[in-house]
Chain A
Amino acid sequence: MKVLGLETQNISALLKVVILGLIAAVALASRLFSIIRFESVIHEFDPWFNYRTTRFLVANGFYEFWNWFDERSWYPLGRVVGGTVYPGLMVTSATIYNILHALNFTVDIRNICVLLAPLFSGFTSVAAYLLTSEIKDSSAGLLAAAFIGVAPGYISRSVAGSYDNEGIAIFLLMFTFYLWIKALKEGSAYWGALTALFYFYMVAAWGGYVFIINLIPLHAFTLILMGRFSTRLYVAYSSFYILGTLMSMQIPFVGFQPTRTSEHMAALGIFGLIQIIAFVEFARSYISSNQAQILFKSFVVISFVGMLSGLVLLTLGGYIAPWTGRFYSLWDTGYAKKFIPIIASVSEHQPTAWPSFFFDLEMLIFLFPAGIYLCFKELHDGHVFLILYGITASYFAGVMVRLMLALTPVVCVTSAIAISRLFDIYLKLDPEDSDNNSVKSNKSVIDKPSRKGDSSRSTSSPSTNKSSEKKKKSEHFRILGFDTRILVISNFFIFLTIFIWHCTWVTSNAYSSPSIVLASRQADGSQYIIDDFREAYYWLRKNTDYSSKVMSWWDYGYQIAGMADRTVLVDNNTWNNTHIATVGKAMSSPEDVAYKIMRRHDVDYVLVIFGGLLGYSGDDINKFLWMIRIAEGVYPNEVKEVNFFTPRGEYRVDDEATPTMRNSLMYKMSYHNYNELFGGQGQDRVRGARLPIGKIKLDTVEEAYTTENWIVRIYKVKKLDNIGRSLEQAGEFESGKKRRKRVKRTN
């Protein structure tokens, strides 16, 4: 059959390319809301650090970056950036930058950073296509590509300006999995090495690589348990593991972890196990007595148990680091809150609320189990992988909000499988249905893998089974009437349309805010931009000495370093809990204690975020409890959380606030002069409370700057009093009070 003078085969190939290109374009375009609404800026917190390091990399070259000791953060400890960073992201953008400049496109590095995540989400949809086509067929692949392109769960981390590791890591995750499935299918060391290569890139890009290095061994292990050990698995896994581990150890931040920490032990154990099994299989091919079989099997089991106990012994002996707190918190959601408040204090580490599944994945979350069910129906290697990935990822996504990101790809892939299966059945013999032209190509594509499956050396040849089974199924359903088909297809057409609408709406309304610029609607519907953060940071940049040290809660560390270019005490890296606790202690202590800490750390300015005037709920008073908790963890005798609660256990800022609360530096700095603004009693719009009457007196710091909407307040730390008084006494003298006289003698 010929259309426009081309073979159907060619047309379908062309269409596939065009559709995939369009999907990638849509994926890119739908992430540009933030640029259109606001401007081309870096968003949030971590991206500012990535942006800063990228600029450093571009300016100073790779070796300087590799050895970068950053003395402008974590004052006075400093941070060895080169050794504590996943450099993949920065190196990627710097490479793009250098290529473009070599071609004489003088693009600003900022724009590359802003647009990197959307660009890679385009790549992600291609990777999703490849993975799904490898597992099912290309029509499912196209659906998966379309889903992942617009799924809000992924968009939330990859809008333009969200220049973070996850932006490129999801692409790498998908592509590594694709290569793994490919390697497993082909049983070739070539694909295994490619898997390792992309695994290396993933290690360089994101700490989430641990997911890969545990999921792939889990997959291999499950296959072994299912009795599906084959030379293909042996070759794919061995080449992947050895090359991948060696390469991952080249990243300074990872270093010797693959051989020394529990997170990587599963991979090593499976590697050992697979060697033993391969040897046993090899030996068994020469001996075929029954006793020998039992002997071999027991040998495998014994060595497995031996390795496991060896691991436990080594862990107890301290040769292998036990699981880190971050991983414990994945098993026990209450763990972090008890022992490592710094991890629990991050909102994206909280357990996921159930509506966010629907919010982020909409109807895909319903199709996800259907897809998993379909995978169960034909358990070939790829499907086993999808099932494992789906189960683990959905558990993790339930435990931690940010891991929703890892769940999204598998949900997209499985739902695509489910829908495409549905369309296979209902559209199969309906060539005039113009709705889904990709399905037309179905027939030809279905045949392809089956042919491949025949030619592959596998004995099980699952693909052949699959396609024959499918043919059987469609035979079975062919009796369906035209009306039923229309009903189901149009139904799903509506679902898909609503899905797209939902995704676009969520993207534009929920995930496209840069969070350094806030937008609100005024009464007449016009947009009102609240730009207090940048106002404050630029004030710092322009009005303070270059060597000034700014103390703030760690959330704002990266932004201050990036936008204000000033030295900070703590930042979002949170590598040193004690240092953060010290800052927390300074914030939660009375002025005199805080002043000593600030003097010791050479603090010049203190920055607090205060949302009371505007109703901005992410302010420091709301985060204050975490500061107290973290400080209490390190200084249990000096900071006590109980003292900040009223006797009835309430956290209040009004008249009933406890004295400890009202004397804390944070409280004083937040509400300093606030009553005066109202001419009497201040109204806190976040906590819906009226402040206590009376002036809040600050002696050790003085207000330096407060932004337009009072969101950012900057205080300058006073110097020691020139003539040796305490600052409190000096403050009293300034306010006109004399020092107390001694009692006069009476005659």
Chain B
Amino acid sequence: MILATSSKTSETIRDFSREFDIEIDDKDTFVIDHFNYDIFDEGGKHTLVIIDNNKGNNDDSITNNPAILSKEVIEGSPILFRGIGHKVGSSPLLVKILWGRNTSYSYEVREDQKNIVDQVPFISGNQIGLVTALQARNNARITFVGSLEFFSDRFFDSPVHNVVTSEKFPKSGNEDFAMDLVKWTFQKKGVIKVISRHHNKEGETEQLETYRIKDNITYTIEISEYVNDQWQAFNGTDVQFEAIMLDPYIRKTLTPTSSPDLESRKFITNIQLPDVYGVFTFRVNYKRPGYSYIDDKSVVAIRPFRHNEYPRYISAAYPYYTVTASMIVSFLIFSIVWIFNEDPSSKNKTKKTN
């Protein structure tokens, strides 16, 4: 869902977005930037602000997340924006996509009012969220855009001319940005899914529900990504595997394999299970901003050794074996001698030790 608002937004929309930890600024406020405004700015209020492309420094105010925006947008033309800003909360599910430049602030703009700022703005600088997305835990996506004009043809086709720095671009980046944003929001981009997962003992292929402690096992997970309207192999390299029982016992980065079929890629690791028995969860918890979440769990039990899986003869115990064996033999000999060597005089003795 894309929620585009303007400075005239109603309270209901504010309440609604507040549930997503997004606080839209008051009515009639605009994002103002006296250092980065377009030449077409009307009324001298400097509300038509320019967001530069990503230059890779602290002053950037556009995300460089390739899952959401394509490279052309990130490095392309600046973006024009006129509208209301919002404060982005601390929810970990929120992704800032476009935000205010350090020189900008959000303040009330009225026709009858002079440009006097006599109160501290609610939000200013890079705190101002312009375009922010939230990916819910079930991977539903909602994008908040603080401007309706942002998507207008006028903004799409408009050239950009920064009044202060005199930088000029023939066409704004709005159209490409909007295309990517819509694609991402409606699950055409940045979508990954688990095709299958498999774990087995090394050298075997069968997936078991119970392993033994210290077993060597192989864990495989197959992930594909939706790119350009088709499923392709996922290219991430930071997929991690965890074996958890209350706390992670093993955490290991999975190795991507070269994918024979192009639709998915297998990530493999070989691990030795811990020397602790219990019910373990094999989990791949892959949550990266922009990508849909992967939280794949399979529960296995890790059991202790069976009674016949211990080493049968321990070298350290050989003295004991010898003692036992010699004891048995000598007892047998003693019994035989005792039984067959009875003489009349030993009758009393037998009684005693009977």
A71 vs B279: C-alpha distance in the bound complex, in angstroms? 6
Which residues of chain A from 564 to 612 have any CB-CB distance to chain B below 8 Å in the complex?
A: 600-602
By a CB distance below 8 angstroms, the chain B residues around A741 are 14, 18
**B226 interface residue per 8 A CB criterion:** no
B92 interfacial contact with A, CB 8 Å: yes
**Residue pair B354, A189 in contact (C-beta under 8 Å):** yes
Contacts of B112-148 to chain A: CB distance below 8 A: 119, 122, 134, 136-138, 140
Residues A71 and B140 in contact in the complex (CB < 8 Å), given A76-B245, A187-B354, A724-B93: no
Cβ of A723 < 8 Å from any Cβ of B? yes
B230 to chain A, nearest CB (A): 28
Contact residues in A for B15 (Cβ distance below 8 Å): 738-739
Interchain CA distance A76-B297 in the complex, whole Å: 14
A77 touches B245 (CB 8 A): yes
Residue of A nearest to B121 (CB): A745
Tell yes or no: A269 within 8 A of B by CB. no
Interface string of A165-196 (1 = CB under 8 A from B): 00000000000000000000001110000000
The answer to whether A66 and B210 touch (CB under 8 A), given A76-B279, A78-B301, A723-B19, is no
Which A residues from 22 to 47 make CB contacts under 8 A with B? none
Question: B26 and A745: CB pair below 8 A?
Answer: yes
Cβ of B122 and Cβ of A722 under 8 Å apart?
A: no
**Chain A residues within an 8 Å CB radius of B138:** 722
Within 8 A of A (CB), among B91-126: 91-94, 108, 119, 122
Q: Given B21, B119, B299, which contacts A725 in the complex, CB threshold below 8 Å?
A: B21
- Whether A509 sits at the interface, judged by CB under 8 Å, is no
- Chain A 71-82 interface mask (CB, 8 Å, partner B; 1/0): 100011110100
Q: Interface 1/0s, chain A 723-747, versus B by CB < 8 A?
A: 1110001000100001101101101
Docked pose: A733 CA to B279 CA in angstroms: 37
Whether B354 lies near A722 (C-beta < 8 A) is no
CB distance B277 to A78 under 8 Å? yes
Asked whether any CB of chain A lies closer than 8 Å to the CB of B312, the reply is no
Q: Are B94 and A724 in contact (CB under 8 A)?
A: yes
Residues of chain B contacted by A83 (CB below 8 angstroms): 304
How far apart sit A719 and B26, CA to CA, in the bound complex (Å)? 33
> Chain A residue with minimal CB distance to B119?
A745
A637 contacts chain B at the CB level, 8 A cutoff: no
Query: In the complex the two chains form, what is the Cα distance from A207 to B279 in whole Å?
Result: 28
- Does residue B263 face the partner (Cβ distance < 8 Å to A)? no
A547 at the interface (CB under 8 A from B): yes
Q: A76-B278, A77-B278 are in contact. Are A231 and B353 (CB under 8 A)?
A: yes
CB distance B92 to A724 under 8 Å? Answer: yes
A77 to B122, CA, bound (A): 51
- A493 interfacial contact with B, CB 8 Å: no
CB-nearest residue of chain B to A82: B307
What is the bound-complex CA distance between A231 and B352, given in angstroms? 6
Nearest A residue to B20 by beta-carbon distance? A723
Contact B19 A733 (CB under 8 A): yes
Say how far A187's CB is from chain B's closest CB, in angstroms: 7
Q: What's the minimum C-beta distance from A195 to chain B, rounded to whole angstroms? A: 16
Contact of A742 with B23 at beta-carbon distance under 8 Å, contacts A69-B303, A76-B245 already known: yes
Q: B19, B108, B134, B137 — which one has the most chain A CB atoms within 10 A of its CB?
A: B19
Q: Which residues of B contact A724 (CB under 8 A)?
A: 20-21, 91-94, 134, 136-137
Q: Which of B137, B299, B307 contacts A547 (CB 8 A)?
A: B299
CB distance from A747 to the nearest CB of B (A): 8
Closest to B110 in A: A747
Chain B residues 275 to 309 lying within 8 A of chain A, measured CB to CB, are 277-281, 299, 301-304, 306-307
The answer, among B19, B279, B302, B306, for a CB contact under 8 Å with A75, is: B279
Interface flag for B351 (CB, 8 Å): yes
The answer to the question of B246 belonging to the interface, with a C-beta cut-off of 8 Å to chain A, is yes
- Note all chain A residues with C-beta closer than 8 A to B20: 723-724
* Assembled-state Cα–Cα distance A69/B26 (Å): 62
Query: How far, in whole Å, are A729 and B19 apart by their CA atoms in the complex?
Result: 8
B23 touches A725 (CB 8 A): no
A62-105 at interface with B (beta carbon < 8 Å)? 63, 66-67, 69, 71, 75-78, 80, 83
Q: Give 15 CB contacts A-B under 8 Å.
A: A69-B277, A71-B278, A76-B245, A77-B279, A78-B278, A78-B302, A722-B140, A723-B20, A723-B134, A724-B137, A729-B19, A738-B18, A739-B15, A739-B18, A745-B122
Instruction: List 5 extra interface pairs beyond A77-B245, A724-B134, A741-B18, CB under 8 A.
Output: A71-B278, A76-B279, A457-B351, A723-B20, A739-B15
Residues of A within 8 A of B (CB): 63, 66-67, 69, 71, 75-78, 80, 83, 187-189, 231, 235, 457, 547, 600-602, 719-725, 729, 733, 738-739, 741-742, 744-745, 747
The 8 closest A-B pairs by CB, nearest first: A69-B303, A71-B301, A724-B91, A724-B93, A76-B279, A67-B306, A722-B136, A78-B278
